Amino acid sequence: MDSILVRGGGPLSGQIPIAGAKNACLTLMPATLLSEEPLTLINAPRLSDIKTMTQLLQSLGAEVTSLQGGQVIALSSHDITNHMAHYDIVRKMRASILVLGPLLARFGHAVVSLPGGCAIGARPVDLHLKALEAMGAELDLRDGYVHAKTAGGLKGGMVDFDFASVGATENALMAATLAKGTTVINNAAREPEIIDLARCLRSMGAQIDGEGTSTITIQGVDRLGGATHTVVTDRIELGTYMLAPAICGGEVELLGGRLDLVAAFCEKLDAAGVDVSETTNGLSVKRRNGDIRAVNVTTEPFPGFPTDLQAQMMALLCTASGTSVLEEKIFENRFMHAPELMRMGADIDVQGGTATVKGVSKLKGAPVMATDLRASVSLILAGLAAEGETRVGRVYHLDRGYEHVVAKLSGVGADIERIPET
């Protein structure tokens, strides 16, 4: 298994291009199943998860072509021959469940394996199923698969979520575009990826109102057409690389960065002593004079502090002046990076969904193990500021969500390399 070797060094300087959003692209790709006409996605990230979704769609009969080095994806679902998403593919990635709504909406039946992905808690799919049932779907869970069908197609209905689930909102939104009548999604997720999906669906002919708010209204149409859509900037990759100069010093410009995508995150950076400013091409980040200050962080649904930046923020706070408290309120079991950071000399105490981080003067390089996608990059960030060498193992997690991480960080002066499996 490959590993990443990081040698702590001096300040960083230069530019890092930010890719299109992984979580947006993984939702936009299944939207092809809603139409016979082509869907083209521009600014797609080049990640293993995108390859997995490609394999899944191809297994259903969709045509998926990677162009321009993977930054453009051309999709066509004019000849879907299979309505079953098998475990062998779905187990690799939770986003696979997002084929369920489109398949059911267009064809009236689907069989989809319960999904896999990072081991960061139960993350059940019950809200996805509840939404489809509200639109008249008949569901049966057996042998690890969701067997779904409709009598005469989906029908508009009231979808009331107990929790503002991003994935369930996306599945419901796609399914509702072809349902007969009006569907209202209450307590809908408000993430930029939801807005991006709605804009794409609208360009395909969907009638949607209210995306970006907690109530989305969809008037079903008989059919959707094709579209060309540019994937929104990845706010999690953006936030991750914003932390690099905050941890190491120096100044880095994030090309394509937008403040509106990371507003709550920027508030915490400012409180910690990090300056973020807009530039012509994106955002510039640098640490102010003096040490990083301790701050308290509570993860929340958008527009709050993202759970997907919690691990990376913890890496920054390991060397802050004072004691920080991080509360994880989105996913249970999402502090698995803490023991690995402690191997590097961090002072962290985890009690349930709360981690207390007492800043230390310096981290020390050590062999560590990635436990999930965001944990893997938090260890790389910590390694940038540590004395000596840090070797991060099991970096296949990293490949699911960050393209060319070694090239991007070495391009701004980091001493980092990928060590191939021997």
Annotated binding site for UDP-N-acetyl-alpha-D-glucosamine: 94, 123-127, 308, 330
**E-only strand ranges, 26-166:** 39-42, 63-67, 72-76, 84-85, 109-113, 138-142, 145-149, 158-160
Please report the sign of the dihedral spanned by the C-alpha atoms of residue 299, residue 301, residue 307, residue 309.
negative
Nearest to 237 by CA among 416, 391, 23: 23
Helices (H), 11-114: 22-28, 48-60, 87-90, 100-107
Cα separations (Å) of 141 from 110, 137, 145, 207?
Answer: 12, 13, 6, 31
Options 25, 118, 248, 318, the catalytic residue: 118
Cα separations (Å) of 110 from 33, 55, 84, 164?
Answer: 12, 17, 6, 25
| CA 99 to chain CA mean position, Å | 17
Name the binding residues for phosphoenolpyruvate.
22-23
Asked if the bond preceding 45 is cis, omega within 30° of 0, the reply is no
Sheet of 158-160, strands arranged across: 158-160, 182-186, 215-219, 207-209
118 an active-site residue? yes
Catalytic residues, which ones?
118
